[in-house]
Every structure is written in C-alpha cells, then in structure tokens.
Amino acid sequence: MTLAQAVVPPLLAGGCLYLLVKLFGAASDQDYWLLTALVIVLGAVLLQPERSLTPQLIHGRLRLAGRIALRWLILLFVLLAIGYATKSSTIYSRRALLTWAVVTPVILIFANLVMHEALRRVLSDPANARRSVFVGYNDISLALARRLMNNSSAGLTVSGFFDDRAPTRLGPTPGMELCGGFKDIVPHVKTHAIDVIFVALPVSHIERVKLLLEELRDTTVSIYYVPTIFAFDSIQGGTSELLGVPLIALCETPFHGYRGVGKRLTDMVVATATLILASPVMILTAVLVRLTSKGPIIFKQRRYGLDGREIIIYKFRTMTVTEDNGPIRQATRDDARVTPIGRLLRRTSLDELPQLINVLQGRMSLVGPRPHAVAHNELYRKLIKGYMVRHKVPPGITGLAQVHGLRGETTTIEQMEARVQYDLEYLRNWSVLLDLKILVKTLSIVARGRNAH
C-alpha cells in the first residue's frame, strides 16, 4: 500500500495532464510529453506520503487533504517558475493547463483518501496489529496505552506492563495487566512474540534502560523510549534535532521556520486588502471622532507584544480620556467615559481597525492572544501561572478567548485565568485552519455586538 501511495499520485498528475491535452484538442507533441515527464518527476518528489504510517492515519482525512493541496500548490509554483525561466509557458494551451491545475488536486485527494481508508482498515485488523508492552507503570505509560487501545489505526495492541514495584503500590487500573518485574521482560518478549517495547522510565533509571537494550540485542523487537518529561504541560512540545543532537521541545512558539513565514504572509495580504476595502469607513470614522469630542483621533497605548517587548497599538479614540500609565480602569457597560460615537465604534469593533497598521508593522497578528495594557500585564503576571507564555507569539486583533465569550471587560481573576487558558490552548493547537475559524467566528460575534461596551 505504501508503494501505491508513492507511485499513484505522480502518475495520476501526469495522466490527467495527458488526457486533458487530448480532450481540449491540443497537440500531444514532444513539448507535452516533456511537460508530462516533468510533472511525474516533480510529483514523485513533492506528492510523497509521510515517512511514518501512524501519523498520517491518526491525524485523519482533513489533514491529509490539506497536505495534498499544499504540496500541489508548491508543484504548480515550481512549474510556473520553470516556465518563466525557460520562456516556454506560451507553448501550451492555457485552457488545458488551467483545467488540469483545478481538476487534478480533487482527483489526487480522492485517490489518496481511498488509499488512506484501505490502509487504515488493513492496520486496524487485529490480525495485523503488532503486540506491545510497556516498561514502567506510570501516568505517561498509562496515557499512551489508553490512546493505543482507543485508536486501532496505530496498528498496536497492548499486552501489559512491567514494573519492579509491588501491585499494591501501583494501584488498580482496569484493563491494564501487570506482567512482572524488569527481570521478566526479556523472557516474556521471547516467549510471547512481542514486537514493540515502550520504555517509560525516569532519567534516573537510565542505567536500567542501557542494560535492557543490551539484553534485547539478540531479539528483533522494536524499542521506543517515552521520556517522562512529557508529563509537563508543554507548549508546542515535540522532538527535533539540532546539528544532529536530538532535542525535546517543552515550550516553543508555533511560528518558527516556514510556519512563521506563512503566518506573516497571511497577515500582510489580509491586512492590506482589508485596509484598502475599509479605508472609506476609516476616513469617515476619523472625521466623526474629531467632530464629536475633544482629543486625538487615534488612541495610542503601550502593550506587551512578542517576547514581552513593549509595543504601541493604535485604536480610534472612544473615550474622553487616554489612559496609559498607573492604574487603568477597564471600560464597563454604560461607562461615562465612553463618547456617544465611541459606544457605536466599540459595539461594531470599528475602533480596532487601526490595528491593521500594527499588523503590517509586524507588531501584531490578525489572530493571537489579545494584548493587555502594560499595567494589567504587570498585575496579572504575578497572579496567574503561565501568564507570560502567551507572549511567545505576536498579539492578535482577535483570538480564541474572544470567540469563546471572553471579549471585553474581565471583572474577576477567574475570567482572566480562563482567557489565559484559551490563549495557551491556541499556542498548543495553532494551525491555519484554526486561524480561519477564529476570524469567521469573530465576524459573526461582531455582527451581533456581543460583550462590546
């Protein structure tokens, strides 16, 4: 099946091109044969399945479709670059190529989903599953065992656990069998045809792990070390390597490397387009603010941005005061400081539009944890655990907390804690799709004017 996943996509891409050329009556001459061959070669490189079977099965169909669509766009970009560099793009039928560019990814996604489902059924068959055991009976090993038992797509069954502690110390856990102590591992592996061992022991037991590896060298069992360090509440946790040295990430920004570039490009494109479309509204708003109350049109306030560095954010002024230092009182419902036009701007969130300039400056993002006034930051960082971790990413005009009802005034420490927890959840689970969902939900909430005062 993995061979089919590697071979079918590039052949489908080349075959679709050939058929569409025939369908549209374009001559299937040497130039088209050359283009077809180039497509197959590029497809063999760019449309390959992930190296590990388990991740693509567990992550599901939506992620698979998104990965194929992204790689297809990269393939098209490479083809356009080659065509531009060789000045050969005018040779081919534009109608045939445009149709091919739109139709082929749909066919590729459908074919890959069919193969994905076939592979999932094969690996989900208990007869094909590999038998696994755990060395170490603790929260980490139990959590992984439960996930394996609840997800047959991993292709693994759990045969039991090994630990030197007495069963009375470990406590009863239904469905989890204790097979013996560490000295029983090797005999059990050899007599029960165990395929995989997960070692979930603390670093203090590293010598025991080394000895176990030596004892198992004359078997073909696969061995994985599960660091108990993952018991920590990590942000973007995972494994990687630096100059050949393996590393375990405990707290990292989701926007490093190419992901950061993609996030920044999205912000710039959407912010620029929105500023252009909203410019008449912004001009009218500026005039109304100037005519209806004394003070500057734009309200500037110091906030904490990426990595806790101070930034200046812009908003249309909605109050008769422009507080930035000392104790700052949040706006409340029927707040006397809010001007009549300011109340309308807050209800419609039009006062936030100047922050699009902050986005273009790179100080903010469209989606991310909302920035708080410096005075509020200094207060809450002392009261809420993990508060400053939200500054691992640029602050956003909207965020996950805001679309879950935590928009506007926070009157209690519990409300701020809930907002911070949503911000940390955003950091853990960020994706382009999540950003799009938040933006759509924000538009819906703004249209209804909820929690805005």
- Total of domains in the chain: 3
132: in domain: yes
| Residues 333 and 190 grouped into a single domain | no
Same domain, residue pair 374 and 419: yes
pLDDT at 1: 45
Locus of tokens 């994706």: 431
The domain spanning residue 168 has which CATH number?
Answer: 3.40.50.720
How many CA within 13 A on the CB side of residue 91?
16
Q: Give the pTM.
A: 0.59
CA-CA distance, 42 to 66, in Å (whole number)? 18
Same domain, 267 and 386: yes
Residue closest to 373 by CA, chosen among 315, 292, 295: 315
The reported pLDDT for the residue numbered 30 is 74
Using a 10 angstrom Cβ sphere, with 0-12 exposed, 13-18 middle and 19 or more buried, the burial of residue 286 is middle
Block residue for tokens 């620029």: 272
Residue 237 belongs to a domain: no
Looking at the structure, tell me whether residues 432 and 294 fall in a common domain.
Answer: yes
Residue 249 located in a structural domain: no
Structural domain boundaries, residue 220: 127-231
- What pLDDT is attached to residue 318? 86
pLDDT digits (tens, 9 = 90+) for 211-258: 888 888 777 788 888 876 655 667 777 776 666 666 667 677 888 766
Question: Domain check: are 167 and 291 in the same one?
Answer: no
Tokens of 277: 């479309």
Instruction: Please calculate the CA angle 6-89-35 and round it to the nearest 5 degrees.
Output: 30
Shared domain for 114 and 132, answered yes or no, is: no
Bridge-partner residues for 53, per DSSP?
none
Strands across the sheet containing 222-225: 178-180, 156-162, 130-135, 196-199, 222-225
Q: What is the dihedral of CA 200, 203, 209, 211, to 10 degrees?
A: -160
* Longest Cα separation, the chain: 87
Among 68, 94, 124, which residue terminates a domain? 124
> For residue 236, is it within any domain?
no
**In this structure, is residue 163 part of a structural domain?**
yes
**Do residues 389 and 251 lie in contact, with contact meaning Cβ atoms separated by under 8 Å?**
yes
Shared domain for 296 and 443, answered yes or no, is: yes
| Burial of 149 from C-beta contacts in 10 A (0-12 / 13-18 / 19+) | middle
pLDDT of residue 53: 41
Residues 6+ apart with CB under 8 A from 219: 186, 189, 190
- The token pair at 225 is 């070390």
- Per-residue pLDDT tens for 369-410? 998 888 888 888 888 888 888 888 899 999 999 898 887 667
Provide the pLDDT for residue 313. Answer: 92
Shared-domain flag, residues 116 and 138 = no
28's CB contacts (< 8 A; 6+ apart) are 18, 21, 22
64 in any annotated domain: yes
In whole angstroms, what separates CA 149 from the centre of its chain?
25
Q: Which of 216, 231, 246 is the last residue of a domain?
A: 231
**Residues 265 and 405 placed together within one structural domain of the fold:** yes
What pLDDT does 28 receive? 57
Q: Is residue 100 within 8 Å of residue 94, measured between CB atoms? A: no
Pairing status of strand 178-180 against strand 196-199? unpaired
Q: Are residues 270 and 393 in the same domain?
A: yes
Spell out a b/e string for 346-372, using b for 16 or more CB atoms within 10 Å of the CB, else e.
Answer: bebbbbbbbbbebbeeebbbbbbbbbb
Alpha carbons 52 and 57: distance in angstroms, whole number: 9
Assess whether 102 and 171 both reside in one domain. no
* Nearest residue to 420 via CA among 372, 363, 374: 372
Predicted confidence at residue 288, as pLDDT, reads: 92
Residues of the chain with pLDDT under 50: 1, 51-58
Q: Are residues 404 and 354 in the same domain?
A: yes
Give the 3-state secondary structure of residue 7.
helix
- Domain-embedded: residue 351: yes
Please tell me the distance from the alpha carbon of residue 240 to that of residue 334, in angstroms, as a whole number: 52
Domain end residue (candidates: 72, 104, 124): 124
**Does any domain span residue 376?**
yes
Please state the length of the chain: 453
Structure tokens at 209: 């792990």
